[in-house]
Amino acid sequence: MAADDESLRDGEVAIPLPENFDAGVYFIGRIRTPWSSRSECPKNGRESEVECTIELDTRYADGLKDVERSSHLLILYWMDKARRDLVLQSPRHCATQRGTFALRSPVRPNPIAASVVKLVKVEGTRLTVIGLDCLDGTPLVDIKPYFASTDSVADATVGWHQDTTK
Ligand SMILES: C[S@@+](CC[C@H](N)C(=O)[O-])C[C@H]1O[C@@H](n2cnc3c(N)ncnc32)[C@H](O)[C@@H]1O
């Protein structure tokens, strides 16, 4: 689906996308949040203490076995309102354009978003979590356990981000 606002900002570059897809995706559920417009959403999940609900399709119910034993999960979701054709973007918080693959923007060829969330509770196929940043109804792509031992890189850096936060 296309973005509400298809206009390009200064410095943004759109490309023609391939004519065909290379693979299919199963949406395995929906994410319920209080946010109905992108401007209301937190910029990233870490900015929010709001409880959101992940509604897993009941056909995948058995796949939740042992999930309640994780304190944190990695949630992958599909940013269905984002355009997919930009290779250079001009985020509002940046003075200059940046490459799509240097950004966490939802605008990308495959609009897959990722957030590490705190698991509050599991009730049947409904998971209450803290740490999401998406619109109500956003399609769910995957749920994985978050391993602090292997997923966390304490000294990781993103050089350009220091320029924008100075
Ligand atoms: C910057 S992205 C970060 C997503 C994810 N945490 C990540 O790092 O991959 C979060 C923003 O995407 C936008 N957004 C949320 N849900 C969306 C959706 N379903 N389609 C398109 N954009 C969405 C909102 O503006 C929100 O603030």
Q: In which element (H, E) is residue 13 found?
A: strand 13-14
Substitution site in 6, 38, 161 for ligand 1 pocket (most atoms within 8 Å of beta carbon): 38
Question: What fold, for 13-17+29-147?
Answer: Elongation Factor Tu (Ef-tu); domain 3 (2.40.30)
The domains of the chain are located at 13-17+29-147
Q: Is the CB of 41 under 6 A from ligand 1?
A: yes
Amino acid at 104: R
Could you tell me which of 43, 37, 4, 23 has the C-alpha nearest to residue 109? 23
For residue 50, the model assigns a pLDDT of 98
Token digits for 46? 């870490």
- Residues 116-127 as b or e (16 or more Cβ within 10 Å = b): bbbbeebeebeb
List the beta strands (DSSP E) in 20-158: 29-32, 51-56, 72-78, 86-89, 98-99, 112-123, 126-130, 138-145
Q: pLDDT value at position 93?
A: 80
The number of beta carbons lying within 10 Å of the beta carbon of residue 105 is 16
Residue 46 Cβ inside 6 Å of ligand 1? The answer reads: no
Instruction: Report the pLDDT value the prediction gives residue 92, as an integer from 0 to 100.
Output: 86
Consecutive H or E run containing 14: strand 13-14
Relative to beta strand 138-145, strand 98-99 is unpaired
Residue 1's pLDDT is 37
pLDDT at 165: 54
Expressed in angstroms and rounded, the spacing between residue 134 Cα and the centre of ligand 1 is: 5
Answer yes or no: are the C-beta atoms of 133 and 48 closer than 8 Å: yes
For ligand 1, atom 19, the nearest C-alpha belongs to 79
Calculate how far, in angstroms, residue 71's C-alpha sits from the geometric centre of ligand 1: 23
Question: How far apart, in whole angstroms, are the C-alpha atoms of residue 84 and residue 114?
Answer: 16
What is the structure's pLDDT at 4? 47
Which of 4, 40, 41, 103 should be mutated for ligand 1, with most atoms under 8 A from CB? 41
Q: Which DSSP state fits 161?
A: H
State if residue 45 touches ligand 1 by the CB under 6 angstroms criterion. yes
pTM of the model: 0.95
Under 8 Å CB-to-CB from 121, ≥6 apart: which residues?
68, 127, 128
Averaged pLDDT in 10-residue chunks for the chain of 166 residues: 68 97 98 98 96 98 98 98 98 90 98 98 98 98 98 95 69
